[in-house]
Amino acid sequence: MPAPKPTQSGAGKSKSAGKAGPSKGSAKGSAKAGGKDEKPAERVVAENRKARHEYEIIDTLECGIALVGSEVKSLRVGRMSLDEAYGRIERDEAWLLGCDIPEYEKANQLNHKPKRQRKLLLHRREIRKFAGQAFEKGLTLVPLKMYFKSGRVKVLMGIGRGRKLHDKRQKMKSDSARRDIEQGLKARRGD
């Protein structure tokens, strides 16, 4: 990239005239051009809070999802629901069912069906691993959250075992006790 031209024309050049600082468009001074340690920004579109209550999540996996244009635009507006969604594996393909992405209001006849099946984009070995766990132990594939990562829509899928009513109550008690302990410690530190 050539150095920016000095604003003055003529003989009155200073030493720093040819060396300007990093411009807004250059990668040198921007926060995005940091080291490899920085994660790309994630923008969460929807979370399935019920899933952590209803299921004991054993393993998670980030996967892509095949969407049409109006679905992506609807997600960018932030409209969707994962409440009744679940995953299924059929013929070495992973599918997301029950996920509700409402129609994009500005898309006319080219709109999508809100509750259609959507294909999850996984490697074959990941699909086989999840399928093996699900069939052997009677586990369920559950979407935990959907988010944008580097401009792409990603789904965090979890494989979990359904909780019984007494398990849910026990978890609520342990969570409540943990919160009380944390509040007590916080109050003690403040004194």
Tell me, yes or no, whether 158 lies in a domain. yes
**What pTM value is reported for the model?**
0.63
Q: Tell me the residue range of the domain where 50 lies.
A: 42-163
pLDDT at position 123, please? 92
Tell me, yes or no, whether 52 lies in a domain. yes
Tokens for 24? 């807004």
Q: pLDDT at residue 62 above 80?
A: yes
pLDDT (tens digit per residue) in 74-107: 888 877 788 888 888 888 888 988 888 888 777 7
Tokens for 2? 């050539």
Question: Could you give the CA distance from residue 140 to residue 179 in angstroms, rounded to a whole number?
Answer: 29
pLDDT, average across residues 16-43 = 52
Tell me, yes or no, whether 129 lies in a domain. yes
Tell me, yes or no, whether 111 lies in a domain. yes
CATH code of the domain in which 121 resides: 2.40.280.10
Tell me, yes or no, whether 105 lies in a domain. yes
Q: pLDDT at residue 32 above 60?
A: no
pLDDT at position 44, please? 84
Q: Give the count of domains, the chain.
A: 1
Question: Could you give the CA distance from residue 122 to residue 60 in angstroms, rounded to a whole number?
Answer: 13
Question: Could you give the CA distance from residue 56 to residue 135 in angstroms, rounded to a whole number?
Answer: 16
Name the band, by pLDDT with cuts 50, 70 and 90, for residue 139.
Answer: confident
HSE, side-chain direction, 13 A CA sphere, residue 164:
2
Tell me, yes or no, whether 24 lies in a domain. no
pLDDT (tens digit per residue) in 157-182: 888 887 777 667 777 788 888 888 88
Tell me, yes or no, whether 29 lies in a domain. no
Burial 75-89 (b: 16+ CB within 10 A, else e): beeebbbbeebbbbb
Tell me, yes or no, whether 7 lies in a domain. no
pLDDT top residue among 91 and 190: 91
Tokens for 114? 């809100």
